[in-house]
Structure 1
Amino acid sequence: MESKFAQFFQHYGSILLLLLGIVLGSIVGAFFPQAVAWLKPLGDVFLNLLFAAVVPLLFFAISSAVANIDGSQKLGRIISTMAGVFLSTIIIAALCTMVVLWFFPVDAPHVQEESVNELLQGSPDDTWGDKLVRFVSVDEFYKLLSRENMLAFVIFSFLTGIAAMRSGEAGSSFRKFLSSGNEVMKQLLILIMKIAPLGLGAYFAYQVGTIGPELFGFYAKPLGLYYMLGAFYFVVFFSLYAYIAGGRSGVDRFWKNNILPSATAISTCSSIATMPVNLAAAPRMGIPVSVANVVIPLGTTLHKNGSSMSSIVKIYVAFILIGREFFEPATLVTALGITVLVSIVAGGIPNGGYIGEMLMISVYGLPTEAIPAVMIIGTLVDPIATLLNATGDTVAAMLVSRFALGRNGLDRMEADTDDTD
């Protein structure tokens, strides 16, 4: 009896401790909100450790994966399949949101105009070309190490991997260094995740204690609609994607190993913080390392189902506030285009969708009084939006494995992971 309990705790002990920390944190946040100010630093320490580790982990994961891709797993096939999967799922999420809003319209009163000048940062002389250049590149190497330039860092890591792959025998030592560094950073992640129950519990206490009351206020109806739709999409569509990728076994593997990534995403509201946990869970889902180390890091920046859905909701609410019709063909097509772009440019950091909201206001020429409303919506949907953004990367990697490597490659990886379970 004791041995069975020991085996159960060995397999599920970390998850039980994590759930215990989350439950206790939620209780503290709900009934003792004055204590959250003391608990939040604990969550900040945990999150800062993840953020500090994510830059080197991202570099070694992407560059080593690209550098060691062999002839049976061609980079071009993986990248082209990944692009198709990313674009398809983003558009599907946006279309689902439009359909739901059509059948369940949201009413909202007019929001009073207020000053938002402090939100519009940056030089007024900047063109969109200038902003694009700053987004995808930097002019000094040290700037790559900042999370503010994450897409530029991803591109640099990707190009480093390609260069290492093309260097042949002369680059063999460097490729070994990349593989070794990737393994070291994985072990560092394991150490950091030891304090996950404490860190995530503290963050849940903070979120429940500070954001919780607002969920029952002025924006309750659109928020409730988004949360219900997000939960439906999370369960039904992610299960469908996992089934397409690996059949019933794929569904079982995805949900069995998606608990910790989901909890991390909800509590931290950060795709970047969830990315290391996704990478750790990917092999147990049957995703080949060569695919996971390319698709998941790139997906952290480029693939966002939750942001796609929230973008449509924010555009819809903004149109209601100013009395404009949302369900017009030109408006809907433009909304899809904005959604795809926002899903790409919204960085993997908490509340990173603000740049998308500014883009939305600019493209539609909406008055500035709509900005506070869409920013409130964006902030309050951040937990479930991040859940969809972050955990959508692993199920996307499963689809890429299925379509890029074929069923045989996925079956072989599943057999390997069965041996290690």
Structure 2
Amino acid sequence: MKRTNILKNYSGLLWLLAGITVGSIVGLIFGKSVESIKPLGDIFLNLLFTAVIPLVFFAVSSAIANIDRSKKLGKLLTVMVLVFLSTVIISAVLTLVATWLFPIHQALGNNPIPLEETKIQSFGEQMTQLLTVGEFFEIGSRKNMLALIIFSVLVGFSTLYSGKEGDGFKNFLVSGNEVMKKLIILIMKLGPIGLGAYFAYQVGVFGPQLFGTYAKALGLYYGVGAFYFIVFFTLYAFIAGGFKAIKIFWKNNIIPSLTSIGTCSSIATIPANLDGATKMGVPSYITNVTIPLGATLHKDGSSISSIIKIAVVFAIFGKDLVHVDTIILALGITVLVSIVEGGIPNGGYIGELLMISAYQLPPEALPPAMIIGTLVDPMATLLNATGDNVAAMLIARFTEGRNWMESKDHPNIVESEKI
């Protein structure tokens, strides 16, 4: 891959890092007086908050409305969903354990941002408020992201089952999705300025100790990510087909891995993944469904980063990620992030907004999560993209049986043997 292409693919990340770096220097030099430039960050966040609501609605509802109902792949889809959910939850739980063993909150000392006191609600009241709203106009609030997602899913299915009468509305959803995607891309061009201003503000308030928080979070993410990539992907391959599967997986996962790092995109890695999964012996009917859908719905790397982001934000606001209800909600957010963010430009920010909504955090919680998401993007893409290959092997194991690798009925295996 040409050097210029790699720089082009990472240009957005590099500009964000440049903005964060400049903001850090400004914060260190001017201290708390940088509060005067905080409005630049507020303007950026307000634009993002405003655009993300219609984006989520159009993205989720249009995706469901365009499902091809003629494809009857019941068993395959069931196994695929179970495999995707299992690996996402396993990666999230692994990261939770890592945050308990290596707590991030120690880096902030005794200087957390105070949270406003909120009225204590019963579990039932919390679930009602989290899942639904009482008035239609409330669905457009960033504080009700989960309710918006549920509403979008219902609209999508309603459109799907409306038949020809709903074609006009389906086209409207598709068109709206494209427009809002372009709007997000346009707003994110202000990211270096907006995040730079917010990072300057944070450094000015916390001082150099803030770097320890981010450094520890990044070290934790890349450590857990590398461990998951090597150990758990190997374990998944072993479950799929024993030691033979391990050898075949790693032999044919090199090109997809390099492609994912070079492009920083799960979508762009699809061709390499299709070729890699075929060489691994996965039946073509599984490969052709699992790899494209996995690029959108299967995000082990995003699962790990979701937990790390929650841990960092909790550290900044002096909260603990140890209570049962908090942990269950974190896992639920992680699963939703894995599903919702695919196919949306900067889709990880949707999960961050969902986190803020679910935990009733102030807008100041968004920039730290966005910064973490930006810095871990290369490793997250590697795990998101190549995780689809080992998932395809697992799906083949549970749909084709224990000896799926020995079968001579798969055209791709026969072709590879001829070669």
Aligned match of 1:141: 171
Q: 1:22 to 1:233 in 2, by over 3 A?
A: farther
Aligned match of 1:381: 376
Aligned match of 2:269: 274
Aligned match of 2:243: 248
Aligned match of 2:257: 262
Distance, in Å, in 2 between the alignment partners of 1:241 and 1:23 is: 35
Aligned match of 1:97: 95
After TM superposition, give the deviation of residue 101 of structure 1 in Å. 1.1
For residue 284 of structure 1, the aligned residue among 269, 276, 279 is 279
Distance, in Å, in 2 between the alignment partners of 1:91 and 1:141 is: 35
Aligned match of 1:338: 333
Aligned match of 2:221: 226
Q: Please tell me the residue identity of whatever aligns with 1:315.
A: I
The answer to whether the 8 A contact 2:6-2:263 is kept is no
Match status 1:301 vs 2:296: yes
Q: Percent identity?
A: 52
Q: Please tell me the residue identity of whatever aligns with 1:228.
A: G
Aligned match of 1:83: 81
Q: Which piece of structure 1 moves more, 368-377 or 216-225?
A: 216-225
Q: 1:91 to 1:148 in 2, by over 3 A?
A: farther
Q: Deviations over 1:239-290 (max 9, x none)?
A: 1111111222211221111122112222322211112221122110111110
After TM superposition, give the deviation of residue 410 of structure 1 in Å. 3.0
The answer to whether the 8 A contact 1:269-1:350 is kept is no
Aligned match of 1:411: 406
The answer to whether the 8 A contact 2:337-2:351 is kept is yes
Aligned match of 1:43: none
After TM superposition, give the deviation of residue 225 of structure 1 in Å. 1.3
Distance, in Å, in 2 between the alignment partners of 1:23 and 1:272 is: 19
Q: Please tell me the residue identity of whatever aligns with 2:98.
A: V
Match status 1:312 vs 2:310: no
The answer to whether the 8 A contact 2:253-2:386 is kept is yes
For residue 392 of structure 1, the aligned residue among 378, 387, 390 is 387
Distance, in Å, in 1 between the alignment partners of 2:401 and 2:250 is: 22
Q: Please tell me the residue identity of whatever aligns with 2:275.
A: A
The answer to whether the 8 A contact 2:279-2:413 is kept is no
1:7-46 counterparts in 2 under 5 A? 18=1, 21=2
Q: Deviations over 1:283-326 (max 9, x none)?
A: 10111110011111111121111111111111111111000111
Q: 1:239 to 1:128 in 2, by over 3 A?
A: closer
After TM superposition, give the deviation of residue 364 of structure 1 in Å. 0.5
SS at match of 2:346: coil
Distance, in Å, in 2 between the alignment partners of 1:323 and 1:97 is: 19
Q: 1:327 to 1:420 in 2, by over 3 A?
A: farther
Match status 1:353 vs 2:351: no
The answer to whether the 8 A contact 1:302-1:345 is kept is yes
After TM superposition, give the deviation of residue 24 of structure 1 in Å. 11
TM-score between the two structures when normalised by the length of structure 1: 0.61
Q: Please tell me the residue identity of whatever aligns with 1:101.
A: T
Distance, in Å, in 2 between the alignment partners of 1:233 and 1:278 is: 19
The answer to whether the 8 A contact 2:113-2:316 is kept is no
Q: 1:97 to 1:88 in 2, by over 3 A?
A: same
Distance, in Å, in 2 between the alignment partners of 1:146 and 1:400 is: 34
Q: 1:131 to 1:99 in 2, by over 3 A?
A: closer
SS at match of 2:82: helix
The CA RMSD measured in Å over matched residues stands at 3.6
After TM superposition, give the deviation of residue 144 of structure 1 in Å. 4.0
The answer to whether the 8 A contact 1:275-1:297 is kept is yes
Q: Please tell me the residue identity of whatever aligns with 2:171.
A: F
Distance, in Å, in 1 between the alignment partners of 2:328 and 2:152 is: 27
Q: Deviations over 1:51-103 (max 9, x none)?
A: xxxxxxx9xxx97xx85x8xxxxx22111111111111111101110111111
Q: 1:396 to 1:146 in 2, by over 3 A?
A: farther
The answer to whether the 8 A contact 1:112-1:369 is kept is no
After TM superposition, give the deviation of residue 148 of structure 1 in Å. 5.3
Distance, in Å, in 1 between the alignment partners of 2:382 and 2:267 is: 12
TM-score between the two structures when normalised by the length of structure 2: 0.62
Q: 1:398 to 1:148 in 2, by over 3 A?
A: farther
Q: Please tell me the residue identity of whatever aligns with 1:141.
A: N
For residue 238 of structure 1, the aligned residue among 233, 236, 248 is 233
Distance, in Å, in 1 between the alignment partners of 2:365 and 2:215 is: 17
Structure 2's unaligned 5+ residue stretches are 19-62, 115-138, 160-168, 181-209
The answer to whether the 8 A contact 2:140-2:148 is kept is no
Distance, in Å, in 1 between the alignment partners of 2:4 and 2:102 is: 32
